A and B are shown apart, each in its own frame.
Chain A
Amino acid sequence: MPPESTLALLDPKGLLTGLEAAPDARRWLGFVLDGAHYALPLDLVREVLPLAPLTEVPRAPERVLGVALLHGEVTTVCDPRRALGLPPAPWESPGRLLLVAFGGETLALRVDQVTRIHALKDREIERAEHMSVDVGRCVAGIARPRIREGAGAGEALVVLLELSELV
């Protein structure tokens, strides 16, 4: 189970899509960036936090949005929009921070909104390497889960991301 705060910050409706699904399914945490749906493996996400005040770091790598004080630690906040080539989010517009562990460090990813948890079986995922178009290194695959109720019910397109390419 994800930490309590993760669930608490998800949108109230429809968050358990497929949670009770088959045990061979992997769970992904869905979120929104610039109006489109994306997801990261849930087991890589430690926590979802409200957006904290950011401090810009001059001359930092491009993907770094700044640093924030999270749980008393100075945490580097990365912007997946930059890795994906999306337009930047307006500075300090509402958003969420996903705490992820990467390379021995805890980093935060800024996303616009956290939507739901998707349980996806391997056969439901179209792997990036099997696609006829080059989708870039950030994309691990694409899934089209059926969402029965709540926001965005129907068939949604979710881009599954590769964490190592975002930070």
Chain B
Amino acid sequence: MPPEDASEYARRAQEEFHAEAQELLELVGRELLQLDEEFSQGREDPERLNAVFRAMHTLKGLAGLFAYERLAQGAHHLEDLLDQLRLGRLALSRALLDDLFTAVDQLGRALASGREDTAGLDQALRRLRPHEAERGSNARSYVLDPSVVAVLSEYEEHRLAVHAARREPLYRVRVRHPLATIDQHLETLKRALKPQAEVITFLPAGGDEDHLELELLVAGALSTEGLALALELAPSEVVTVPFVEGPAETVREKPTPTSGAPVALHPPEPEVRPALATVRVDLRRMDRLLNAVGELGLVRGALTTAADRLRPGADLAALRAELVRLERDLGRNLAALQRGLLEVRMVPLGQALERVAREVRKLSRALGKELRLVITGVDTAVDKVLVEALAAPLQHLVRNAIDHGIEAPELRRERDKPAEGTLAINAWQSGSHVVIEVEDDGAGIDPEAVLARALTQGLAEPEAVRGLDRAGRLSLVFLPGFSTRDRVTETSGRGVGLDVVKTNIARLGGMVDVASEPGVFTRITLTLPITLAILPALVCEVAGRTYALPLASVSEALKLHPEEVRLVGAREVTTLRGATLPLCRLAVLFGHRAPERHRGGLVAVVALAGRRAGFVVDAIQGQRDVVIKPLGASLRGVRGFTGATDLGEQRLALVLDPAGLLEEALSAPDAPGGAPHAT
């Protein structure tokens, strides 16, 4: 690296350090404030102390990394103190909180001063010392099996003691979860219990091939019934653990573990991780990236050698062969680099589903509906940007399902359904797309009611919708303006805001589909590209223009034989392996040429969400990876494109929007204004 680059790098690294450290201190400040407020109300959320502790730990590491020694020492000191607090070895007090605030404030000043001016910090840290001498004491305890006590961590014991001191009941319950999604379930469960109760620990208690039975220790200000309700159990399944009466005895005196003692599965002692919203990268991925960079360095060296050899009288044939080989190496390594960087952007879809699960708990309680949430495919990897963008549409769909889909328990019993409704969210990867289904076993949607509503609201022309089949009628719920707050009937009121969901998903290059059987189920399917950044595309030629068609949606390409083209209404169709394939000539759709019945060409078959159409182009130049850049706001209303890409020599090619075009191609070409879809 040249020296100017090195100093530039160092400067930027310093800037980043300052920004991160500042952010961490702000977080600490916020959490301390909350802690203070709760403390004055006699409450104490252990998560707050944990968050402050984690942030301080991260700050210590950062400061150490950037050689701010005094800062690192200060943070270390505070981290120790916070650790004592969260383990209950120290009791929180107003005075201690005040001194903590001062110390954090001084840390901020030391950071801002740029130099290591730490006189104020040192003084603040000295004031904390007397607190460290104080120790809390555990006075009361629960009667617990020694084999259970044996596996509790110090942190867990402390939490038990805190609850015991407040004379809050301790419960033992058994729950059963599918192995594949157990982490997800436990997180959901913990969240459902907060803030009244806390899961102290869970111990494996049996299970079968794909289910795990766990015994939970739950403590908190919650009645047996309340806990049973929150965990969706019968009250009889909740066992209350009695208090130890008489002289105080602590759980600390534990016997040596016996061989048969269960082992704590997930010590809830929080893992220490950075509190910042960044993409975390697996080191093995970084190594692969570094390898690719290393190889590129070798290629560069070989290019230099080749350039040196390029002199009068050189063996041009050999040089040429060498250059061809180098070009291939270069391409291979660039591709590896690109793949690696894309991987870095990928995160599990579960991050978006977590928020959805919270929403489900909240809503089903609020609406008095009994609900079972089943989630599969939390590990499906998708673009980080997509995860952020998906949260809102998913929440919307889930709200719809709970509010309008799942019936109240009494009604469900009347309809011979289990009182408890099921809401399933299934995600999986399909090629370079991710498919997410939100399905409920509720009231369903009646296509006739949807049609009637679309007509009475004047959203569709009667002649345009007459020929619509069942699926077509259902898809009218996506019409802009179909959303409304008032419900028409029990079974047709779904579809609130679905046009908004559709627009949001379309913006991400995806599609929304609906399937339903009145009284049985409703299923909304989202199909989205896994990444928005770089994707392989077919470079096509249409009337002398170049377009890029994302390859992920293309199932095959074939030659168009004009003699095999038939007309169905105004639409051209051909036959593909015995099935009818609707055709759409891009040159005509885009107004480059007048309708052309007898021209040949190539057909790119676009298949998405079970629907397909053939797009006729003049030629396919080949496949290449394209970086999509968005079009300006002034072109947002233009249909058919997701962006543009630079094909080199400064010339842009428009990137086609397969989902949008497919919809356009499949909507009736002869019914202007009657197209049941909006983009």
Contacts and interface: CB of A to CB of B under 8 A. Distances in A.
Contact of B632 (A52, A55, A76): A76
Which of A55, A60, A74 has the largest count of B CB atoms less than 10 A from its CB?
A74
A157 interface: no
Contacts of A105: 632-634
A74 B634 contact: no
B632 A59 contact: no
A50 B637 CA distance: 28
A59 B649 CA distance: 25
Given A69-B650, A69-B652, A76 B634 contact: yes
Contacts, number: 71
A66 to B, nearest CB: 8
Interface string B637-655: 1111101101001111110
B545 A74 contact: no
B632 A75 contact: yes
A59 to B, nearest CB: 5
A64 B634 contact: yes
A75 B632 CA distance: 6
A56 B650 contact: no
Contacts of A74: 629-632, 643-644, 652
Contacts of A55: 545, 644, 651-654
Nearest to A167: B634
Nearest to A59: B638
B644 A67 contact: yes
Chain A: number of interface residues, binned into ranges: 20 to 34
Contacts of A167: 634
Contacts of A58: 589-592, 638, 640
A53 B634 CA distance: 19
A131 to B, nearest CB: 30
A57 B654 CA distance: 8
A104 B636 CA distance: 13
Which of A55, A73, A107 has the largest count of B CB atoms less than 10 A from its CB?
A55
Interface string B615-642: 0000000000000011111110111110
Nearest to B629: A74
A68 interface: yes
A103 interface: yes
A56 B632 contact: no
A69 B654 CA distance: 12
Nearest to B637: A61
A104 B633 contact: yes
A58 B630 CA distance: 16
B646 A69 contact: yes
Contacts of A78: 634
B634 A73 contact: no
Contacts of A68: 652
Interface in B646-679: 646, 649-654
Interface string A111-134: 000000000000000000000000
Given A52-B650, A53-B651, A69-B650, A59 B640 contact: yes
Nearest to B633: A105
Contacts of A69: 644, 646, 650-652
B646 to A, nearest CB: 6
Contacts of B592: 58
B631 A76 contact: yes
B629 A73 contact: yes
A61 B651 CA distance: 21
A61 B130 CA distance: 73
A76 B86 CA distance: 57
Nearest to A60: B638
Given A52-B650, A57-B654, A76 B629 contact: no
Contacts of B649: 53
Contacts of A53: 649-652
Interface in B418-456: none
A105 B580 CA distance: 44
A120 to B, nearest CB: 29
Nearest to A103: B633
Nearest to A104: B633
Given A53-B650, A55-B651, A58-B592, A67 B635 contact: yes
A69 B651 CA distance: 7
A74 B632 CA distance: 7
A61 B637 CA distance: 9
A164 to B, nearest CB: 12
A53 to B, nearest CB: 5
Which of B630, B635, B651 has the largest count of A CB atoms less than 10 A from its CB?
B635
A106 B634 CA distance: 10
Contacts of B635: 57, 60, 64, 67, 76
A61 B633 CA distance: 12
Given A55-B644, A60-B638, A67 B652 contact: yes
Interface in B583-631: 589-592, 629-631
A61 B634 CA distance: 9
B315 to A, nearest CB: 39
Contacts of A103: 633-634
Interface string A58-86: 11110010011100011110100000000
Contacts of B638: 57-61
Contacts of A106: 632
A78 B633 CA distance: 13
Interface string A146-162: 00000000000000000
Nearest to A56: B545
A110 to B, nearest CB: 14
Interface of A: 52-53, 55-61, 64, 67-69, 73-76, 78, 103-107, 167
Given A53-B649, A61-B637, A69-B651, 15 more contacts: A53-B652, A55-B644, A55-B653, A58-B590, A58-B591, A58-B640, A60-B638, A67-B631, A67-B632, A67-B635, A67-B644, A67-B652, A69-B646, A74-B652, A105-B634
19 contacts: A53-B649, A53-B650, A55-B545, A55-B644, A55-B652, A57-B635, A57-B638, A57-B641, A57-B654, A58-B592, A58-B638, A59-B638, A60-B635, A61-B634, A68-B652, A69-B650, A73-B629, A74-B630, A105-B632
Interface of B: 545, 589-592, 629-635, 637-641, 643-644, 646, 649-654
Identify the 7 closest CB pairs spanning chains A and B, nearest first: A58-B590, A55-B652, A76-B632, A74-B644, A74-B629, A105-B633, A53-B651
